[in-house]
């Protein structure tokens, strides 16, 4: 996939158990150097790089809060991404690649650091399955790792039949999967339906809304890789809605993650704009619980003024959003007031909008699980049409740059 290049971060925090599993091994921490000339490069890191070379001593930086041209700067991820407060997060060699655009796949180039080998034969659980990013991820996995056992897809629907219909209409018959159709010919439908398992559920409900207890137990027994891509991406959503999906939804997902007996990776899709109102050249680091960008901004400004800064408590924010939603239930302007509440809370703590604030709080919750599960956080920015694979120009929905191009060509 391609994008206007923006900041991108990946942090891998392996658990002790995952480091000793016989199916794969993680080498010592190394530097990750990434050239974000296209989303294809980023996407290959997400779902398996097919061409790699030694990162060596290459290093670069990422900028936030600048122009689009500044955002094209390169990225450095050092072995230690977190300070003492958030704990040490390690980038494994699985993610240590320099990926060039216009990759031509050859058999000898797929060895690399063992990413493709890691992906093969796995069982996945993917949320946001009918969305742009997750759908592209599923297509890529099925194309480069056809030995994949199963991909469980969380689908919001009213019934199992409706969930299956959504998967068939929005995935199996999607133009994005045309290369897979050509590869498998008449056997395409049998192939893809043997891999995909729709799971009726809802990120906003306890237990992810999975009412089929037998299926939930099966998933806990079989799933090895989880990709959590589901999110509310509206910048000015109602505070209670955004926090329920982005923050509490992540907490519910982690509850399921802890039940997975064979888990080797939990990959959380965040946003490149989670750094909020920070300025200057930054190192991408995980958030720790209660971290406030507003506090950093005061320090950065060098002011000597003494005034109290608000404390950030994620549990308190969740309760505030719920309480205000109940209070305003009968108010005709409830939607507007709840949106204003989210915006005000975000800016008070140092974020631009409700979306990035609730995603940051989700990362804070994840940080409290470090050492217990193998965690990776990716922070993509604006995701646009496919760069080359499976074919150039595929897009889903009305994306910002797409609309801009239509305006220019009108």
CA distance 375 to 64: 24
Using only C-alpha atoms, the chain has a radius of gyration, in whole angstroms, of 21
Statement: residue 352 has pLDDT above 90 = yes
For residue 409, the model assigns a pLDDT of: 47
**Residues whose CB is less than 8 angstroms from the CB of residue 98 and which lie 6 or more positions away in sequence, other chains included:** 33, 34, 35, 52, 53, 54, 55, 58
φ/ψ (deg, to 5) at 377? -115, 125
Q: How confident is the model at residue 390 (pLDDT cuts 50, 70, 90)?
A: confident
CA distance 116 to 94: 10
Statement: residue 325 has pLDDT above 60 = yes
Burial class (CB in 10 A: 0-12, 13-18, 19+), 122: buried
Residue 87, CA distances (Å) to 94, 170, 295, 360, 373 in order: 21, 40, 19, 16, 14
For residue 94, the model assigns a pLDDT of: 34
For residue 84, the model assigns a pLDDT of: 34
For residue 131, the model assigns a pLDDT of: 85
Count how many Cα atoms sit within 13 Å of the Cα of residue 48 in the half-sphere of its side chain: 26
Maximum Cα–Cα distance across the chain: 72
- Higher local confidence (pLDDT), 328 or 66: 328
- Please name each of the domains of the chain with its CATH number: 10-409 (3.40.50.720)
Q: What is the pLDDT of residues 46-86, one digit of tens each?
A: 444 333 333 333 233 333 343 333 333 332 233 322 333 33
Statement: residue 114 has pLDDT above 50 = yes
E strand map for 78-160: 123-126, 150-155
- Tell me the pLDDT of the chain averaged across its residues: 75
Lowest-confidence segment of 39-43, 83-87, 320-324, 335-339 by average pLDDT: 83-87
Q: How confident is the model at residue 111 (pLDDT cuts 50, 70, 90)?
A: low
Q: What is the pLDDT of residues 179-210, one digit of tens each?
A: 898 999 999 999 999 999 999 999 999 999 99
Lowest-confidence segment of 81-90, 131-140, 159-168 by average pLDDT: 81-90
Nearest Cα residue to 384 out of 361, 354, 404, 407 = 404
């Amino acid at each position: 996939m391609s994008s206007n290049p923006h900041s991108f971060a990946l942090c891998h925090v392996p658990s002790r158990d995952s480091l000793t599993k016989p199916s794969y091994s993680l080498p010592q921490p190394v530097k990750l150097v990434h050239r974000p000339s296209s989303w294809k490069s980023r996407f290959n890191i997400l779902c398996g790089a097919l061409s790699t070379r030694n990162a060596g001593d290459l290093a670069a930086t990422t900028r936030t809060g600048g122009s689009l041209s500044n955002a094209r700067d390169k990225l450095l991820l050092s072995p230690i991404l977190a300070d003492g407060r958030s704990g040490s997060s390690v980038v494994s060699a699985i993610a240590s690649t320099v990926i060039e655009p216009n990759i031509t796949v050859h058999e000898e180039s797929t060895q690399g650091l063992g990413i493709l080998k890691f992906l093969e034969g796995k069982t996945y659980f993917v949320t946001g399955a009918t969305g742009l990013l997750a759908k592209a991820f599923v297509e890529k996995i099925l194309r480069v790792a056809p030995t994949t056992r199963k991909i469980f897809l969380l689908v919001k629907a009213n019934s199992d039949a409706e969930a299956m219909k959504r998967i068939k209409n929005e995935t199996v018959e999607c133009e994005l999967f045309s290369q897979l159709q050509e590869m498998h010919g008449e056997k395409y439908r049998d192939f893809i339906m043997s891999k995909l398992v729709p799971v009726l559920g809802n990120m906003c409900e306890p237990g992810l809304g999975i009412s089929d207890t037998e299926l939930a137990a099966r998933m806990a027994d079989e799933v090895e890789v989880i990709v959590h891509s589901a999110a509310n991406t509206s910048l000015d959503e109602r505070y209670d809605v955004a926090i329920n999906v982005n923050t509490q939804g992540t907490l519910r997902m982690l509850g399921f993650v802890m039940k997975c007996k064979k888990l080797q990776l939990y990959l959380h899709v965040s946003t490149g704009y989670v750094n909020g109102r920070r300025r200057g050249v930054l190192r991408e680091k995980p958030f720790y619980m209660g971290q406030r960008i507003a506090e950093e901004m005061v320090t950065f400004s060098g002011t000597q003024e003494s005034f109290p800064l608000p404390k950030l408590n994620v549990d308190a924010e969740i309760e505030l959003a719920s309480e205000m939603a109940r209070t305003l239930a009968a108010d005709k302007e409830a939607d507007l007031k709840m949106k204003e509440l989210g915006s005000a809370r975000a800016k008070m703590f140092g974020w631009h909008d409700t979306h990035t604030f609730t995603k940051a709080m989700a990362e804070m919750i994840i940080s409290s699980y470090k050492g217990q599960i193998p965690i990776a956080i990716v922070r993509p920015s604006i995701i646009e049409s496919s760069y080359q694979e499976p074919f150039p120009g595929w897009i889903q929905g009305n994306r910002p740059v797409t609309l801009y191009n239509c305006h220019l060509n009108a």
